[in-house]
Amino acid sequence: MMRIEGAFTALITPFSPDGERPDLDRLRANVEAQAKAGIHGVVPCGTTGETPTLEPDEYATVVETVVEQAHALKLLAIPGAGSNSTRHAVEQHRFAHSLRADAALHVNPYYNRPSQEGLFRHFMTIADACDLPIVLYNIPGRTGVLMTFETVRRLAAHPNIVAIKDATGGVDLASQIAAETDLVVLSGDDPLTLPLAAIGGRGVISVASNLVPGLVADLVRAILSGDFDQARTFHQGLLPIARALLTLDSNPVPVKTALRLAGRDSGVVRLPLCEMAPEAVERLRSTLVQSEVLSPALVTMS
């Protein structure tokens, strides 16, 4: 089983201007841009992909499109397959397996707020469903429940559970996981990719790489080669961009707005998400100009 480490992009889902359908041409173009920039793999249909707003047929089409395009470009493809229904998660996991995805990302069940034993049984049921590697996804800010170290430790014994995306907002839990299990730890927060690397993290599933894939790829490449002086330089360049993308509005509103400003419009976000307030757009624009992501002369405000 391959080791899942490196720089991965949590893909946005581009929509048509009216939001009525996924824009598959722009989706493929983004995957191609990731490959050209040196990204290791792509993750469709996660938080950044607005997955809760996708109809079942849209989800299937987006995942199938990305897996096919990624493999043609020699990228790993790790679809988001999580759900707050274990049966639904198993169904999506098997679907990803049928497409020959490289792994599947499974978030903590949201809204239900299961106990730790419920979390354990949920993920074990998925892991037993078919022989497809699983990347656990611990993001309590979105799901309302934190997977504890003891639960992660128990799950790590299953051969199909190979990695964890940590978006807990700190390094304590990830540090213990890296030290006491064989799971690959991936950052789920761009600003914490380098800090997590200091305690054993091996990459990131990045929002920012939709916009600046080369910078994220360079950061992770430096980390994996052990060149932490170079990694700090890339981290400092990425930090203001990442903070803006993750704090000015709910993800993926800022990153889709940034792509529009850069002339790579990915369409609207779907309700209940909506466009950013004008003052937030201006703050985002200013950050991207100061970070030399955008040239003032080329900014598109339409």
Q: List CB contacts of 5: < 8 A, sequence separation 6 or more.
A: 40, 163, 184, 186, 202, 203, 224
- Catalytic residue selected from 36, 59, 165, 256: 165
Torsion-angle region of residue 115: left (phi > 0), alpha (psi -120 to 50) or beta? Answer: beta
Residue 97 CB-half CA count within 13 A: 16
The answer to whether residue 256 is catalytic is: no
What is the distance between the alpha carbons of residues 194 and 62, in angstroms, rounded to a whole number?
A: 30
Angle formed by the axes of helices 24-37 and 213-225, to 10°? 40
Which residues are registered as beta bridge partners of 77? 42
What is the distance between the alpha carbons of residues 198 and 167, in angstroms, rounded to a whole number?
A: 16
Encoding tokens for residue 63?
A: 């995942």
- Catalytic residue selected from 110, 111, 137, 256: 137
The answer to whether residue 59 is catalytic is: no
Residues designated catalytic? 137, 165
